[in-house]
C-alpha cells in the first residue's frame, strides 16, 4: 500500500485562518496525512480542536505546556513531503525571512527539510509595503515558493491583491509538490528567461515586457525535480533562484554566446526568454540628442537563437514559447515547425489577467504528434511543473533536426 503523503500545515493569525478546516478536508479527501501547527493569534480565528478533528492528528499550538513531547516541534516536521504556511501574515513572513524562532510554529519551520510554500494573505497596502515585498524576495531567493494572492474584495472593505487563493488552488499546488518525484535526476537542463536589451545608444534600448518569472519558475521546478540547471537570463528585477548556475546576459548576441558554450552538454533547452527580434543597425556611441526633426532608426534582425539550436538539436528536447495576440494555435504550430521544436507553449498576451509581469499565466502546450493541452489560468509555479511534465513525455519521441543522426 502506498504511503500517505505527509503535509505540514502552519496556520498564522490572518482572518483567512477560518478556512483551514475546509482546506484540510480537501487534502484528506485526496488521502493526505495533515499535521498542523498554529500561532497564538491563529487561535483567534479558528479553534485548535476544529483543526484536530478534521486532520485526525494532534494540533500543536503556541502553548508549549500542552505538548506531549518536548521535541514535538521537531517531530511534526520529520518526513514531511511538503509544507504550507497559510494564511501567511506579514509578521510570520518577516520571521521566516530573518530566521526568528520565538514560538512553536516558527521553531518548527526552521526544522523543515522539504519544499516549503507560503500563501500570503493580507490587506493590499500591507502586501505592497516595501518591507513585506523584500521579505518575500528573501524567501524566494532561498527556495521558498510563494503562492501569489488573488485580487478581490477584502474583509475590511478594501479591494485589491491580497486574498488567500482558493482552497482548490492551494490543494492542487500542495498535492502536486507532495506527489512529485525527482524524475529529472541526472538531466542537464538549460533555461533561458527574461527579456534581452539591444542598445540604441548608451541610454536607450530596444526591449520587451518579459519579467523572467515564468522562466525562473521552470528553473526552480527543474531543480526541485533533481535536474542540474543552468539559467541564462536577461535584465530582470527579481533575484535568480538558488541551487543552479546563473548567467546574466544583456543582448541576443550575448545569450547566443552563452548557449553555444553549453548546449552540447545539455539534455534539454527551455527557451522561455523573450529575445529581441530586432536591433539597431549601428548603435550610437554617444547619447542621441533630442532634435525637432524626426529620428529614423535603422533596424536589422537579431540572431534567431531558438532556430539556431533547433537546427542542431540531436536527441535533445527543445521547448519554445510563443507570445501571440491572435490566431494562437496556428501561429504557435508554425513556429514549432519552423524552429524544429518538440514542444511549444503559447500564451495570449492580449489578456490583462495573465502573462508579462503577473503571477498567473495560461498556456496552450502543443507537443509534436499529440493533442494540445489547455492549462487554464494557474500560478506560474504550478504551470512550471505542467510544462516539465509535458517535456518528459516529449523526451520519449524527440526528433533530430533534418540531416542529423537520429
Active site residues: 156
In whole angstroms, give the CA distance from residue 108 to residue 84: 12
Indicate if the alpha-carbon torsion angle 12, 101, 74, 78 is positive or negative: positive
- Coil, helix or strand at residue 300: strand
Indicate if the alpha-carbon torsion angle 366, 370, 376, 379 is positive or negative: negative
Grid coordinates standing for 206?
Answer: 530596444
Q: Strands, E, within 273-387: which ranges?
A: 278-280, 299-301, 317-324, 343-348, 360-361, 364-367, 373-374, 378-379
Helices (H) then strands (E): counts for the chain: 13, 22
In whole angstroms, give the CA distance from residue 313 to residue 340: 8
- Coil, helix or strand at residue 356: coil
- Best CA proximity match to 223, nearest among 270, 262, 261, 265: 270
Please give the helix or strand (H or E) that residue 120 lies within, else none. Answer: strand 116-120
Amino acid at each position: 500500500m502506498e504511503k500517505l503523503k505527509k503535509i505540514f500545515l502552519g496556520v498564522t493569525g490572518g482572518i483567512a485562518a477560518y478556512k483551514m478546516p475546509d482546506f484540510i478536508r480537501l487534502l484528506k479527501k485526496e488521502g493526505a496525512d495533515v499535521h498542523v501547527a498554529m500561532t497564538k493569534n491563529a487561535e483567534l480565528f479558528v479553534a485548535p480542536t476544529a483543526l484536530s478533528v478534521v486532520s485526525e492528528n494532534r494540533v500543536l499550538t503556541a502553548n508549549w505546556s500542552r505538548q506531549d513531547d518536548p521535541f514535538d516541534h521537531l517531530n511534526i516536521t520529520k518526513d514531511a513531503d511538503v509544507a504550507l504556511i497559510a494564511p501567511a501574515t506579514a509578521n510570520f513572513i518577516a520571521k521566516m525571512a530573518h530566521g526568528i524562532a520565538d514560538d512553536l510554529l516558527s521553531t518548527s519551520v526552521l526544522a523543515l527539510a522539504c519544499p516549503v510554500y507560503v500563501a500570503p494573505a493580507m490587506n493590499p497596502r500591507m502586501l505592497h509595503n516595501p518591507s513585506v515585498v523584500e521579505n518575500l524576495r528573501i524567501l524566494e531567493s532561498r527556495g521558498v515558493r510563494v503562492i501569489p494572492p488573488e485580487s478581490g474584495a477584502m474583509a475590511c472593505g478594501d479591494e485589491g491583491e491580497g486574498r488567500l487563493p482558493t482552497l482548490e488552488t492551494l490543494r492542487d499546488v500542495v498535492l502536486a509538490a507532495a506527489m512529485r518525484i525527482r524524475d529529472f535526476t541526472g538531466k542537464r537542463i538549460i533555461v533561458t528567461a527574461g527579456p534581452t536589451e539591444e542598445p540604441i545608444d548608451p541610454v536607450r534600448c530596444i526591449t520587451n515586457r518579459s519579467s523572467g518569472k515564468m522562466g525562473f519558475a521552470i528553473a526552480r521546478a527543474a531543480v526541485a525535480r533533481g535536474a542540474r540547471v543552468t539559467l541564462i537570463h536577461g535584465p530582470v528585477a527579481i533575484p535568480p533562484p538558488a541551487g543552479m548556475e546563473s548567467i546574466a546576459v544583456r543582448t541576443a548576441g550575448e545569450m547566443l554566446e552563452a548557449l553555444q558554450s553549453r548546449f552540447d552538454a545539455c539534455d534539454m533547452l527551455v527557451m522561455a526568454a523573450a529575445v529581441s527580434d530586432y536591433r539597431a543597425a549601428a548603435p550610437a556611441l554617444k547619447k542621441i540628442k533630442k532634435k525637432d526633426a524626426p529620428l529614423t532608426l535603422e533596424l536589422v534582425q537579431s540572431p534567431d537563437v531558438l532556430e539556431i539550436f533547433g537546427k542542431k538539436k540531436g536527441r535533445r528536447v527543445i521547448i519554445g514559447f510563443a507570445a501571440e495576440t491572435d490566431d494562437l494555435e496556428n501561429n504557435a504550430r508554425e513556429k514549432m515547425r519552423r524552429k524544429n521544436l518538440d514542444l511549444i507553449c503559447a500564451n495570449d498576451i492580449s489578456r490583462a489577467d495573465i502573462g508579462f509581469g503577473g503571477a498567473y499565466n495560461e498556456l496552450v502546450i502543443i507537443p509534436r504528434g499529440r493533442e494540445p493541452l489547455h492549462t487554464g489560468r494557474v500560478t506560474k509555479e504550478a504551470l512550471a511543473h505542467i510544462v516539465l511534465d509535458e517535456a518528459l513525455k516529449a523526451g520519449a519521441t524527440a526528433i533530430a533536426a533534418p540531416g542529423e543522426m537520429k
